[in-house]
Amino acid sequence: MNTTTAPQSPHQPAPGQGTPAHARVPASHYDIFVGVFVALLILSGVTAAKLFYGPTVPVLSDVFYGGGPLIFDGGAFLFPFVYIIGDILAEVYGWRRARRAILLGFAMLVLAALTYTVVSWTTPVEGFEAWDQALSPMLRITVAGFVAFLVGSLLNASIVVRLKERMKERHVAFRLILSTVVGQFFDTLVFCTIAFAGTITLLDLANYTITGFLYKTAVEILIVPVTLAVILVLKRIEPTYRPADAVSPSTTAATA
């Protein structure tokens, strides 16, 4: 019987001196997308406190806004990407994982609202009074944001997942666009109503709501080719992804 042992590598720990044990992290890109998803959501909520005038668009401005400029909030720059990442999470990782990311984002928005409230109660040092004025509308904005986000994002993810059960791997662009239209409509309507009703004129509120919905939906539709490319790459490199055509209905229901 050969009792010869292989020589020990200099990079291996000596017997009895192993490296500390750590929990294993699955080989997946899910955590990266969740981190970006939550960060974009928080940033959008903060910047949404500022309304600003956009360009005057012929016909659109004349029909809806009496010839005046369009109205946007600061969240217009980043918030469309929240829904884009939400589409990716739902399409690649399924309903349970998408819902987990959405609820995590919701919890962070609640934490943000509580933080703004506590900070607004503190006595500012001379010269920092402007921070109270900036933070004072944030609680209402944040409440509007997380209610609208919860409604719109759950609708968005649900539509993507339910249509995928029917269409399998076909017509991905169609379900992304349809889920965007429905999710953004309810998200924008709920947010604008809670955040600004009674603080701006009814005409400005209608202007802001319609503009926000059209703008965010248009941005997401224009970026659909990029979204599709990211989804295609993830489906290829995620080690546990199985094409929907290869999954039985019972398995899909159990894992969605």
pLDDT (tens digit per residue) in 224-251: 999 999 999 999 999 888 887 655 544 4
Structure-token pair, residue 198: 């009674």
The chain-wide mean pLDDT, for the chain, equals 82
Residue 11: Cβ-neighbour burial (10 angstroms; 0-12, 13-18, 19+): exposed
Q: Are the C-beta atoms of residues 191 and 72 closer than 8 Å to each other?
A: no
List, for residues 137-187, the tens digit of each pLDDT value. 666 777 887 789 899 999 999 999 999 999 988 999 999 999 999 999 999
CA contacts within 13 A on the Cβ side of 12 = 7
- Average pLDDT on 63-74 reads 76
List, for residues 16-68, the tens digit of each pLDDT value. 555 677 787 777 899 999 999 999 988 887 887 787 888 888 877 777 667 77
Q: Which of 223, 225, 229 is nearest to 92 (CA)?
A: 229
As a whole number of angstroms, the distance between CA 123 and CA 129 comes to 9
Task: State the DSSP H helix or E strand holding residue 71, giving kind and residue range, or none if neither.
Answer: strand 71-73
Helix axis angle, 224-237 to 79-88, nearest 10° = 40
As a whole number of angstroms, the distance between CA 215 and CA 175 comes to 19
Say yes or no to pLDDT of 218 above 60: yes
pLDDT of residue 192: 87
**Which band of pLDDT confidence, cut at 50, 70 and 90, is reported for residue 253?**
very low
CATH fold of the domain at 30-122+131-237 = Arp2/3 complex 21 kDa subunit ARPC3 (1.10.1760)
As a whole number of angstroms, the distance between CA 164 and CA 236 comes to 17
Only one residue has tokens 């968005």, namely: 156
pLDDT of residue 255: 43
The listed range with the strongest mean pLDDT (3-7, 16-20, 196-200) is 196-200
Structure-token pair, residue 149: 């986000």
As a whole number of angstroms, the distance between CA 140 and CA 49 comes to 9
Better-scored residue on pLDDT, 246 or 80: 80
